[in-house]
Amino acid sequence: MSKKILKAGVFDSGVGGLSVVKSLIEQKLFQQIIYYGDTARVPYGTKDKNTVIRYALEALEFFKNFDIDILITACNTVSAYAIEELKEQAPFEVVGVIEPGVIAVENRVKDKNSNILITGTKATVKSGKYKKLLSEKGYKNLQQKATGLFVPMVEEDIFSGSVSDAIMRYYFKDIKKPDVLIMGCTHFPLIENEYRKFFKDTVLIHSGEAIVEYLKDRYEFEDNIDTDIKYFATENPSHLKEVAKKWL
Ligand code: DGL
């Protein structure tokens, strides 16, 4: 165990990372969270690797202005494309959400022949990072599906109904029902009920829950403290604050 963690930075491409913040504040782990959403440039999931690395390193410069102990990269796309660069260049701890997601699968799913479906942005799927790490753990039946339309859907405040039903059918009509489904994007836990309707007894893996388990196993925290959150966005920060009020 290393030193006590009090202050965290949470980085996402936009507002979706609030799904991870929700899990973090429910656990009362941090004294302060600095949230930075790159709302001016979301989505990241359609961009190429070099662009995502550049954006991530710019975000890192922003976080260097704060006295944080750890940077949590809530964005799966950044975790897929830029986590090594962030770790190399940051003066504080950096964790992404993909390794915790894979560990969450390991903790819940003992049968290595289980059918696992990885959903994420185009970039996350293209990186093959979940697939690689899960294969290394011995999981054999891995499918991937890029489901990027859920991102603007959630940004538009659509969480259920005919639009979401149609997109679910469009993406998943030919997919064999998985035993486990990774919601590998910050926006997807916000439509967890819709996933649940489509895949009834499938085990759903949520980045927020996965990161909480991962952090608790590796770092020391104060017990039960209330979290002060400061919100920053590269565009329209008042919208981010409104969404936070609604979701958290
Ligand atoms: N935050 C991104 C992720 O978790 C989703 C939205 C985007 O494409 O930027 O992959």
Q: Tell me if 1 is assigned to some domain.
A: no
Compute the distance between CA of residue 38 and CA of residue 61 in angstroms, rounded to an integer.
13
Q: Range of 173's domain?
A: 99-206
Compute the distance between CA of residue 35 and CA of residue 21 in angstroms, rounded to an integer.
8
Three-state SS annotation for 27-61 = CCCCCEEEEEECCCCCCCCCCCHHHHHHHHHHHHH
Pocket lining for ligand 1, CB < 6 angstroms: 12-14, 16, 42-45, 75-77, 121, 124, 151, 185-187
Which of 153, 226, 149, 190 lies closest to 20 in space, CA to CA? Answer: 190
Ligand 1 mutation pick, 121, 147, 150, 191, max ligand atoms within 8 A of CB? 121
pLDDT at 2 over 70: no
Reply yes or no on whether 185 is catalytic.
yes
201 and 111, same structural domain? yes
Q: Tell me if 241 is assigned to some domain.
A: yes
63 and 18, same structural domain? yes
Domain of residue 222, CATH code:
3.40.50.1860
> What confidence tens digit (pLDDT) does each residue in 12-24 have?
999 999 999 999 9
Number of domains in the chain: 2
31 and 74, same structural domain? yes
Reply yes or no on whether 226 is catalytic.
no
Strands 220-221, 4-5: pairing is parallel
> What confidence tens digit (pLDDT) does each residue in 68-116 have?
999 999 999 999 999 999 999 999 999 999 999 999 999 999 999 999 9
**pLDDT band at residue 247 using 50, 70 and 90 as cut-offs:** confident
The three-class DSSP label of residue 89 is helix
181 and 110, same structural domain? yes
Residues 221/30, Cβ–Cβ less than 8 Å: yes
pLDDT at 157 over 90: no
Question: For 96, what's the count of Cα atoms within 13 Å in the CB-facing half-sphere?
Answer: 22
92 and 213, same structural domain? yes
Q: pTM for this structure?
A: 0.95
**Residue-averaged pLDDT of the chain:** 95
Which of 232, 216, 239, 212 lies closest to 66 in space, CA to CA? Answer: 232
